[in-house]
Amino acid sequence: MASLPRVIVKPRRARPFFARHPWLFVTSIARVEGEPKPGSEVEVFSHEGQFIARGLFNPNSAIRVRLYRWDGGPLDDEFWAKTVAAAVRLRREVLHLGGPNAAYRLIASESDGLSGLTVDRYDRWLVVQFTSLALFERREMLIGLLAQEPDLEGILSRPDRTTAEQEGIRPHEDVFHGSAPVAPVEIIENGLTFWVDVKAGQKTGFYLDQRENRRAVAQYCQGKRVLDLFTYTGAFALNALKHGGAESVLGIDSSSTAIEVARHHAVLNQLGKARFESADVFDALETIRGGSDRFGVVICDPPKFARHPRGVEDALKGYLRLNRAALDVLEPDGLLVTFSCSGLVERGLFADLIGQLAELSGRSIQILEQRGQAPDHPVSASCLETEYLKGFVCRVS
């Protein structure tokens, strides 16, 4: 058998990869021995000649090699089948997810040892996102493995356009297997019914990573007036009513389409105390601040503010501005529940921001809880970048 091309890591750069970090960037590579084609298998060695791992090569990506196997074995069909099966077992046997109308992340890319593959399940459909050219080129085999899921009607594609262009993933079919749903998919989360547009909704259709947080935050809302910023489908607001006994909820989002969906969800779940309004969040906060309305709980769950390391500083400024504005409409001793889904904004940085918020506002802030993503979005101990969702439940004097 012919030997594989070799990728040699620069001196003093190998330690993270021995520790199973899956991303080998071009800046850490000393040289490539052989002529690997895009998507082909390579072996990675330290500068001293010690074997590190096997991975898949992409000459057009900043992540030049994605690492998958550290025991020297091949990246063959048996390996992929075992890795997919391990991810499925976590959801079935440990987290006990599944059943009619269930919605959860079945495969979480790096966190499941499958860098470049994300799969969400919505009732009888899987929604797949390839962010690795090499895995996209192996899609027939991978889709065949996913098609073994029980009670399945279809497997759909929802590419991230920006990442697809960066990786060289060409436009492709919308349906990998079976058929697409003809209407929004009905899911049940925390006893609430939601309709999910798996073809055009944000992310793969729903923010599954906030499932446990929505239920946890609800417990603080009894008898409170709740303001839910960037409400999207209204899930935080409706959980606050159903499970928290909130006096009332107001959800705000700049998307009029999202607001119509949130209103539909309120009707669907017979939660008449929910109000939803379409407006720019910062403009809405300024309007509320100028009036007499104040809220016992304010929830801030904005979209990603930082998409590149150069954007972290501006992202922190944006989070600070948002949360300062949120404090202005919060009752004394009210609760600020604030999240960041920007993976580049580390938890420590976000916690420091809460301290800055206390200093700038002149108010005492107590952190009651730190929150993260749901367990079907696990964090890899070898790739802490997979802890992208950070949340703090804060009492503000």
What is the H or E stretch that residue 91 is in?
Answer: none
pLDDT in tens, 65-94: 999 999 999 999 999 999 999 999 999 999
Active-site residues: which are they? 341
pTM, two decimal places: 0.94
Alpha carbon distances (Å) from 9 to 17, 39, 56, 131, 166? 9, 19, 15, 23, 22
CATH class entry, domain 77-185: alpha beta
Q: Measure the CA–CA gap between 320 and 340, rounded to whole angstroms.
A: 11
Q: Measure the CA–CA gap between 112 and 346, rounded to whole angstroms.
A: 21
**CATH number given to 6-69:** 2.30.130.10
Q: Exposure string (b/e) for 233-251, b if CB count within 10 Å is 16 or more?
A: bbbbbbbbbbbbebebbbb
pLDDT in tens, 331-361: 999 999 999 998 888 899 999 999 999 999 9
pLDDT in tens, 170-212: 878 799 999 999 999 999 999 999 999 998 878 788 999 999 9
Evaluate whether 6-69 and 207-396 have a shared fold: no
Q: Measure the CA–CA gap between 118 and 219, rounded to whole angstroms.
A: 31
Q: Measure the CA–CA gap between 210 and 203, rounded to whole angstroms.
A: 13
Q: Does 3.40.50.150 match the CATH number of domain 207-396?
A: yes
Question: Coil, strand, or helix at residue 340?
Answer: strand
Q: Measure the CA–CA gap between 378 and 54, rounded to whole angstroms.
A: 23
In three state form, how does the secondary structure of 62-80 look? CEEEEEEECCCCCCCHHHH
Check pLDDT > 60 for residue 1. Answer: no
pLDDT in tens, 320-336: 999 999 999 999 999 99
State the average pLDDT for the chain: 95
Domain ranges of the chain: 6-69, 77-185, 207-396
Helices (H), the chain: 15-18, 77-89, 133-137, 139-146, 161-167, 211-218, 235-242, 256-268, 281-289, 312-327, 347-361
